[in-house]
Structure 1
Amino acid sequence: MNILHISPYYPSLETNHAGGVCMGKEIESLEKNNKVYILTFVASAYDRKLAALEGKEHYKYVVINKWSRIIHILLEPFLPAYFAARTSYRYAFKLIYCMRKYNIEAVHAEYSSMGQYIWLIKKIFPYVRIHLVEHDVTAQSYERKKESSKGFRRWYYEWEYKKISKQEKYYCRKADRVLTFNEKDCRLLKNIYKLENVQVINPYYGIDDIYADSLEKKRKAEYANVCFLGQMGREENHLAAQRLIRIGYKIKEMIPELNIYIIGNQPLEELKEEQNEFIHITGFVEDVDEYLQRAQIAVFPLILGAGIKIKVLRSLALGIPVITGKVGAEGIDESGEVISLAETDEEYISNILELIKDEKRCLELSCLSQEYVKRNFDWGKSEEVLRRLYERE
């Protein structure tokens, strides 16, 4: 089957953000039984460089930057800003061109923002199947931003939330099938948008064989070494990192050996200024696993965001004990079977101290975490779903 994969970010197993890697794995699986063409946006210098290096003929893309996104948002005031940033006539023209040139039979769309192109596809190519992958429920993400904000910001997020709820519902209902990365999001979409066409696939957390990887990269956990992983240009990760740093200062008084590593590209200057002898802001690193393997525990004090957190899954898969709250654990382990759950700063402090001081418990959680991820999030399930989804009728 000829499939067109459309996405708002460059999809590749080599890119530096979890969503892009997950999309890259989907494409790899789809290519086993189909001919897959890719149309995407390139918004960063890193992805532009990656696109040039990979040089794949069946990859088409539109380059956008901060200013073009702002212009798109201003030109589409009634669309949510998150969606309007990926509104592009150039992209629409290339989409139609690819559909005709490659005789596309099905479209695999990533993220709710790409749902805005469904009406165009359906209008010109009414018999083409469209499957939309909801990496998270965007409306829930903005609802949390609204609830945690005050003043003008709260008003802004309230306005965006209303627009997103309307548009996301419309896009999901127009798609022939909606895919989510966890049962929680599946239930949420069914409840708030009254959808019946929803199916769950497992997300790809970047490791093909947990046990082989563990043999290749032995855990070298260092005492009182705590890490946080994320794309630091995102508001939810920036705020969580700042919170972990505040918590870290209190723990430092009790455990002088404490080191905190904030791992991820595009940290804001405000965060860089926090760096000192025990707070380490790495910025972009070639191999995040190198830092993760040295961590005694991974801590994710998230209060914003929605959907499954790939960084939490990856940490668990590598055998790193994880402490996080309901936002970080949702869709993964909300009952706390292998994750140490915490909500308040005091709970985070208590759990961090307990694990740092209990090496035996850390080792136990390391084994349990890997088994849990292997049992519940194996990529083989996703491959089978994708294979059946694109079988010729």
Structure 2
Amino acid sequence: LVVTTPEDQSQIAAYKPSGKIVVIPNGVDLTQFPQRTADPGGHRIVFIGAMDNRANIDAVSFFSLEVFPAIKERYGDATLDLVGARPVPAVLELAELSGITVTGRVPSMVEYLHQATICVVPMRTGFGIKNKTLEAMAAGVPVVGSDRGLEGLAVDGANTPLRALRANHVQEYISAITRLFEDPQLRAKLSQNGRLLIEDEYTWDRASQCYEQALTQSVVRG
């Protein structure tokens, strides 16, 4: 059995301790998500993901209703783009709030990432590595994410280069976003460190090699 994070591995192992469970993270196609060449500055926030996914609906509703109004109060020109296909009515209604745009399906997700100052991943439900987080890091966009949004990724802590800012509560999001809006050097640091992490550990080439190794070992054991 293959899972994408050690957290998933632990949960599955609780049901079948004797099972062989391999951790192989998801990957990113770096040709589709190239690193941006410049920091656009400004106060533009983006969230990317399918807008009919329950976890995404919860995330954008929480962020739009509880976090973004405080950001908008501090930065009058702040914007929030909710980018993704199939927005349900609850998501479409968020576009009625000042500064928020619901795009629906777009030709190129990476264009919106490159134009954003920050990408938020305020997930409160769901498990596993989030492709949206990997894609934002690959594109060189500073990420502010929850524990769920950053699950499975080494982004902070002792002996770990800072690759994203972590937030789980309203005030933590406000603080992290304010830091990034005010500090271009910090944005550059997260942009570079995030991209390097993806290049080193989260490409589809690397994932395919891990799958090949897991399958080979399974055949040998069989």
TM-score, normalised via structure 2 length? 0.86
Task: Tell me the matched-pair count.
Answer: 212
Give 3-state SS (helix, strand or coil) of 2:114's partner.
helix
In the alignment, what sits opposite 1:301?
A: 122
370-379 or 311-320, larger mean C-alpha shift = 370-379
User: Runs ≥4 in structure 1, deviation > 6 angstroms?
Assistant: none
Is residue 16 of structure 2 the alignment partner of residue 193 of structure 1?
yes
1:53-132 alignment, distance < 5 Å: none
In the alignment, what sits opposite 2:201?
A: 376
Is residue 172 of structure 2 the alignment partner of residue 347 of structure 1?
yes
Give 3-state SS (helix, strand or coil) of 1:204's partner.
coil
Alpha-carbon separation, structure 2, partners of 1:254 and 1:240: 22
1:154-173 alignment, distance < 5 Å: none
Equivalent pair of 1:185/1:331 in contact (CA under 8 Å): no
Deviation of 1:322 (Å): 0.6
Alpha-carbon separation, structure 2, partners of 1:389 and 1:305: 25
Alpha-carbon separation, structure 2, partners of 1:294 and 1:209: 15
1:1-393 alignment, distance < 5 Å: 178-208=1-31, 213-214=34-35, 218-219=37-38, 221-246=40-65, 247-276=67-96, 277-333=98-154, 335=156, 337-390=162-215
Give 3-state SS (helix, strand or coil) of 1:380's partner.
helix
Q: Which of structures 1 and 2 has the bigger CA Rg? A: 1
State percent identity of aligned pairs. Answer: 24
Unmatched runs of 5 consecutive residues or more in structure 2? none
Equivalent pair of 1:202/1:379 in contact (CA under 8 Å): no
TM-score, normalised via structure 1 length? 0.50
Give 3-state SS (helix, strand or coil) of 1:307's partner.
coil
In the alignment, what sits opposite 1:146?
A: none
> Alignment RMSD, CA only?
2.1
Unmatched runs of 5 consecutive residues or more in structure 1? 1-177
Give 3-state SS (helix, strand or coil) of 1:190's partner.
helix
Q: Which has the higher contact order (CA 8 A, sep 6+)?
A: 2
- Structure 1's 318 and 362: CA in aligned 2 closer, same or farther, altered over 3 A? same
The one-letter code matched in structure 2 to 1:290 is E
Deviation of 1:267 (Å): 1.0
Alpha-carbon separation, structure 2, partners of 1:209 and 1:245: 28
Equivalent pair of 1:201/1:381 in contact (CA under 8 Å): no
Alpha-carbon separation, structure 1, partners of 2:214 and 2:171: 46
